[in-house]
Structure 1
Amino acid sequence: MFIAHIRESDNRIQTVKDHLLEVKDLAESYGEKIGVKHIAGLAGMLHDLGKYTYEFREYILEAVNNPEAPPKKGSVDHSTAGGKLLYELFHTGENIDRYKGIVAEVIGNSIISHHSYLQDFLNPDLESNYLKRVRDKELPEFDRIKQYFFKYVMNERDFHNYVDKAADELKQFLAKESSGNYEKQLMFLTKFVFSALIDADRTNTRLFEENKTNDHINNHEELFDIYYERLMRKINSYSKQKDACTPINLLRKEMSDQCDKFAERASGIYTLSIPTGGGKTLASLRYALKHAKLYSKKHIIFVVPYTTIIEQNAEEVRKILKDDANILEHHSNVIEDIDDDENQDGLISVQQKLKLAKDNWDSPIIFTTIVQFLNVFYANGSRNIRRLHNLSHSVIIFDEVQKVPISCVSLFNQALNFLKTYGCSSIVLCTATQPALDFVEHKLEINTDAEMVKNLDYVINAFKQVEIIDKATNETFNNEKLSNFIEAKISEVQSVLVILNTKSVVKDLYTQLKMKKLNLPIYHLSTSMCAAHRNKILGEIKDHLKEGNKVICVSTQLIEAGVDVSFDCVIRSLAGLDSIAQAAGRCNRHGEKDIQNVYVIDHEEEKLDRLKEIKVGKQVSKRIFIDISRDQTNHGGNILSMQAMERYFKEYYTELESNLNYFIPKLKKEMIELLMSNKKNSTYYQAYYQKNNKLPPLFLVNSYKTAAEHFRVIDDITTSVIVPYGGGKEIIAELNSNKTINEFTQLLRKVQQYTINIYDYEREQLVKNDGLVSCLDGKILVLKEGAYDKEFGLNLENDSQLDVSIF
């Protein structure tokens, strides 16, 4: 009896045979979604083949029998054998079948990597991490491993038939590629198979540990039917309200109806350009639910630029659909994702429980960020990529798509093209300011006639609620001058919102305004505050706005996308035109008053050297402002016209052209080359030949591991930490107690509301000031109470005197 796992509660054994066949079945069900059932199943069936050894059996028994003095962590490698078997059978000899050889590489890489991340086929040192494992590494018990596999798991004839089916699937998969760039699609296939394997392995291990045969899975199609009915009841109720027949509300209804009709079209990549205040969230949800019903989609995923939008949109959707349990908010990864120790596999430690906790985006409706979406495809570690297979057969709505970081535009486009063509997903680019994503080299394959809303020029004019006042062309502001300007404005109107580009300037302006003793509520908002804290502040602000009370809010740009607030006056520090348009959407949002003013200022105290995209956006916007100030007929005399916006994005992307393909300075290479280049265009492949006077025996030569190690959605690396705010304090206490995998799953979902992301320099300062503690073997970081402040959130000095438990 060879052992895969030993259950913690009763020491029951899961055999290697049972684990391999059960993971195979799960992986097959995931792979079937894109027509690669046998490719994914093969990875599942072979991934833990190396556990058919006496060495691993002795290790795991010794660890269970002597928990106080477990065996020394050695080199019990159980993840190489499956990849080695495929290489030996289908990648050696003179007449290698091309498709079976590629199958061996795609699946073999997934298998040898399932405790870390996909390996390089060829790395910058011109070596192959893949070949080192599957060709060069000696496994003392390999002959016995093969013998047991064919005896107990699948006989040789059936196995070869199974591989034949996998090779046929690969042929059909590659036949969809018209450009001939098979390496790009093989990269996505490898990542999809790896995702299916990781999720199948962890799901099966968790089910065994919880003594379950399978998960209770909701019928998503049935849920979508119920949700659609509830949504339509809500939408129909608007028609009975006394202001239902105002021109604006009639136009909102018309656009919503157009989205409903559009849902009947086949899946593809489409745009939804409803202006700010036009009912974008409900209109896109209406499209998504109807399309999911008609085309049997499994998930509806909202992807947004900021966590603030997640909180508000998720709450709005929950209220309408009347369902908390099946709507997932995923803000960030609370657990640090580092390579596993293979020796720990089989034993259920705290680390294993955290790894096995359900974190795979299998909910029917998911709200997440663009950072998390891009991490699924390109970031290092196995936690992110585990979710990839659940992006297929989905409706994915990108809210404020213009906020995709410039360096990631090409990678973003390629991921969406894969999901459209291979993943059978429908994708909606949802924003009032559509970026020119087809202007870049690696174009997005948007469908023809893609816009859901008709007569956009008319719609934009109908929703004009504000006048943009240019105060950036002829003067600059510092915080002293700005605070005086705000004081003057709040004497004229009831509410003022100020949006600046950096947290430090926001904090300083807020402090100056408080010192003026204006005798009215003044609020501060930034990403240094956790979601629950920001929600509380926003709730208070909305109450003041609703009551018509005087109120001032000073915020970073987090408030300008998707937050449903409406101020009488907005002051926006000069930035990209898309940001100015979003800021304008927080002023007179529902047209409740006559045209109100949005002032654009040039703030001289903002340091933007490390914020290159904001800096370039500011420069391009200023040129357009100057053009209009010289000639009022330019761009229709409107800084937010479609002509101005088109010019803005083309100049913006042109100025940042060298950044679009994610250039890696250290390697002097673009990410696209590492991931997707063919042999002819691969400098590593050519250099290998020059160095060794022979070609590497590989079909694929891409550098998946190296690319992932260098990938960051934003330049600065951040770490998620839990804050002791409100319910966060209780969660911190619970995390330090012994929990089941299911309890950890629930806690990790709840904790999303109580996390912030800190930069490395902030982490170092917190450590220096004793403001940071770790729990669960260092896997989760927590702020001490003194390191969190009632007004500003993160306090690097760790000297907050406030009792945060009462907020």
Structure 2
Amino acid sequence: EFIKKELVELGLEAEILDKVFNNEETLFIQTLINFFTKRRKKKSRDRIKVKKGGIETETNLEKYFTMQVLFSLLIDSDKSQVSLGDRELVKRAEIEADVEKYIEEQGTIQSELNNLRSMALEEVNSNININSNIYTLTLPTGMGKTLNSFNYAIKLRKRLFEQTGKIYRIIYVMPFMSIIDQNANVIEEVLRKSHKNIYNNMLCKHHHLTEIEWVANENTLIEGSNAQMLIEGWNSEIVVTTFQQFFSTLAGYKNSMQRKFNKLSNSIVIIDEIQAIPVKYYKFIGKLLTEYAELMDSKVIAMTATQPHIFSNDVSEQLCEYKKYYAQLNRTRIINELNYSRTVDEFVYDLECADSKSYLFILNTIESSKKLYSLLRDKFYDRSITYLSTLLPPKVRMDRIKDIKSKKHDIVVSTQLVEAGVDIDFNVVYRDLAPLPSIFQSAGRANREGKGTNKGEVHIVKLKDNKGFYADKVYRSAKTDLDITEKLLKDYDTLNEPEFMLIIEKYFDKMADENIKSQHISDALLKGAEEHWFYGENYSLSDEKIPLNGFELIENNGEKFQVFIELDDDAELIWNEYMTISKQTEDKWEHKIKLKAISRKMSEYIVDINNTTKSKYNRPPLDSNQVYYYVSRSELDRYYNEETGYGVESDVYYF
């Protein structure tokens, strides 16, 4: 009777509890799921306000986390029980990892940068402290943050187990899907030093195009719906995933995302490039992560090359004294050319490219990058030049990045896609104006290893066409960020690497000033979370309180269309397989799984285009399922340019 009374006070109806205590277990689970689904989808009638002396206190998210965990446990148990049935598959695994031994066996060459990497590893090693919840690891680009943070997480995990007896899961979160494979491979290599075989209950990757297979042991490969259940349920000791997956669960409202929420408890979460979160959400994410770590007995390691004001100083612990690393590095200097704006034609007319140097140009729009590529190819016809943008299918992009890494090209024109996580190195970088964190990311592509006596050069330019500046077109929602960047750079003709931290701190100080950059959306989302408002349709972003479906990590910039480009024999086979699967009529669930599996293979040949791009170029036909625009091999030249990717302009449109 006491338990029933307590549960009624938590908000469960008495008649449900009568059924529970009459042992109607299946009915209990189903009724609870229905109850929570209903409760989560409607705005709470009672406005929960915690008042203290007439003043509203800080947001209290305890009930938010309680409800999310309960809901998650219910749907996870329900789905796993129905689909998997085999408890062995979700048993915890033992893992060992020795990062220092791995680094030692790599046999690093003596260099100033490698000495600094070792120094940083040692310093972070000496700060293992289980009493903090939020740790920040700030180091310049190219300083080995991936291995350093993983080393800390493994040691923290071991210490926590010794002290508490709990096994902590490690969740490694990255902003871009494109860098998941390379980081997961590094972690796998470290694990291989201690384990003969690596199975998926030890390490798994999860993003929306994850290959749907689960290696359970040396004799068992699971595919189809069971594999999907295991991957999406994060039944692994180390999960490598994206911002989209992690934050859409932490601040989520969809059943498909919330199923894994319970796995966030007793976890060590490494967040790479945390500054990549849109600035308007800094307060929301900072508060959510702080409360999450406290209430769900977890730890957060936030990594960055800059110092965004996401956590208040009193809650986070710095794992190393980052300023001394910046002070010792002098690989790069930024050259400010913002005083005079130019068209792409004018810029190329004035440009000189020394034969002995390699050049990277990072532009803001596909339009400007294509124009620049064409002009550079004409002007420097005897140089090896290549091009990168999202209008090239991922397969082609990855091949080109491989070639760039092996120094096959000495001039590269790209959009912002090379800014983070793409480990490439040039003598000179030209960057069209962008917010300061982006400029510093670009600077990480110049003289990355600090070799030679010449510093890498990063020229900041301001390019325009007859309609205005390209920067304004791309960073429309970040106008303030651009203005602050220009104001801060105005005082400098050149800026050396040891000065980078000084200026980025000023930038984030200004961004944290609520009079300059509003955190209104963060405040409104926190109120929504506090009052369990998970989903709503009739709200405005200017409201005092908004539901969690108002949180969008990736801004919706209009409708996207997928174009499949049949580039080679493999693409042709994949397309034929897709057509065969799409015509099959079988079990709905299995059909869905097959389509998801083939869509992963197809993704290598798919480019996403927006409405403007769609109307500007020849338009390929839609497939019979009305899902993909299809460029067949026989018609490649109508829609695809071998150098710059999708998009051939013509007066003739093909429908």
Q: What is the TM-score of this pair, normalised by structure 2?
A: 0.75
Q: Which residue of 2 aligns with 1:476?
A: 341
SS at match of 1:270: strand
SS at match of 1:641: helix
Q: Which residue of 2 aligns with 1:248?
A: 113
Q: Which residue of 2 aligns with 1:584?
A: 443
1:315 to 169, 175, 185: 185
| Cα deviation 1:189-236 (Å, max 9, x = unaligned) | 2222222222222222222xxxx433523644x22x1xx13x333211
Q: Which residue of 2 aligns with 1:715?
A: 555
Q: Which residue of 1 aligns with 2:176?
A: 306
Q: Distance in 2 between matches of 1:637 and 1:199?
A: 52
The Cα shift of 1:607 comes to 5.2
When structure 1 is superposed on structure 2, of 609-618 and 494-503 the one drifting more is 609-618
Q: Going by fraction, where is helix more abundant, 1 or 2?
A: 1
Q: Distance in 2 between matches of 1:356 and 1:265?
A: 32
Q: Which residue of 2 aligns with 1:646?
A: 505
Determine whether 1:453 maps to 2:293: no
Alignment map for 1:269-280 (pairs within 5 Å) = 269-280=134-145
The Cα shift of 1:711 comes to 3.1
SS at match of 1:420: helix
Q: Distance in 2 between matches of 1:181 and 1:234?
A: 45
Structure 2 residue identity aligned to 1:463 = L
Q: Which residue of 1 aligns with 2:206?
A: 330
Alignment map for 1:177-256 (pairs within 5 Å) = 184-207=61-84, 212-217=85-90, 219-220=92-93, 222-223=94-95, 225=96, 228-229=97-98, 231-238=99-106, 240-241=107-108, 243-244=109-110, 246-256=111-121
Structure 2 residue identity aligned to 1:673 = K
Between Structure 1 and Structure 2, whose CA radius of gyration is higher?
Answer: 1
Determine whether 1:754 maps to 2:629: no
The Cα shift of 1:538 comes to 0.7
Structure 1 residue identity aligned to 2:389 = S
Structure 2 residue identity aligned to 1:111 = N
The Cα shift of 1:496 comes to 0.7
The Cα shift of 1:436 comes to 1.8
Alignment map for 1:622-633 (pairs within 5 Å) = 622-629=486-493
Q: Is the 8 A contact 2:327 2:498 kept in 1?
A: no
Q: 1:352 to 1:252 in 2, by over 3 A?
A: closer
The Cα shift of 1:764 comes to 7.7
Structure 2 residue identity aligned to 1:625 = L
How many matched pairs? 577
SS at match of 1:518: coil
The Cα shift of 1:642 comes to 2.8
Q: Distance in 2 between matches of 1:498 and 1:746?
A: 36
Q: Which residue of 2 aligns with 1:289?
A: 154
Q: 1:607 to 1:274 in 2, by over 3 A?
A: closer
SS at match of 1:646: helix
The Cα shift of 1:382 comes to 1.9
Determine whether 1:599 maps to 2:459: yes
Q: Which residue of 2 aligns with 1:99?
A: none
Q: 1:565 to 1:752 in 2, by over 3 A?
A: farther
Determine whether 1:675 maps to 2:541: no
Q: Distance in 2 between matches of 1:286 and 1:352?
A: 34
Q: 1:255 to 1:517 in 2, by over 3 A?
A: closer
Q: Is the 8 A contact 2:333 2:497 kept in 1?
A: no
Q: Distance in 2 between matches of 1:198 and 1:534?
A: 39
Q: Distance in 2 between matches of 1:767 and 1:108?
A: 53
2:41 to 79, 97, 119: 119
Q: Is the 8 A contact 2:138 2:304 kept in 1?
A: yes
The Cα shift of 1:570 comes to 0.7
Q: Which residue of 2 aligns with 1:261?
A: 126
Q: Going by fraction, where is strand more abundant, 1 or 2?
A: 2
1:360 to 219, 233, 247: 233
The Cα shift of 1:782 comes to 4.0
2:292 to 413, 416, 419: 419
Q: Which residue of 1 aligns with 2:481?
A: 617
Q: Distance in 2 between matches of 1:622 and 1:655?
A: 19
Q: Distance in 2 between matches of 1:407 and 1:509?
A: 33
SS at match of 1:604: strand
Q: Which residue of 1 aligns with 2:264?
A: 391
Q: Distance in 1 between matches of 2:210 and 2:597?
A: 11
When structure 1 is superposed on structure 2, of 712-721 and 274-283 the one drifting more is 712-721
Structure 1 residue identity aligned to 2:282 = V
Q: 1:388 to 1:503 in 2, by over 3 A?
A: farther
Q: What is the TM-score of this pair, normalised by structure 1?
A: 0.62
The Cα shift of 1:380 comes to 4.7
Q: Distance in 2 between matches of 1:108 and 1:770?
A: 49
Q: Is the 8 A contact 2:16 2:31 kept in 1?
A: no
Q: Is the 8 A contact 1:183 1:678 kept in 2?
A: no
Q: Which residue of 1 aligns with 2:390?
A: 527
Structure 2 residue identity aligned to 1:367 = V
| Structure 1: tracts of 5 or more residues without a match | 1-37, 43-81, 93-105, 123-127, 131-178, 336-350, 664-668, 685-701, 801-807
Q: Which residue of 1 aligns with 2:307?
A: 434
Q: Distance in 2 between matches of 1:248 and 1:607?
A: 33
Which protein has greater RCO, CA pairs closer than 8 Å, 6+ apart? 2
Q: Distance in 2 between matches of 1:788 and 1:557?
A: 21
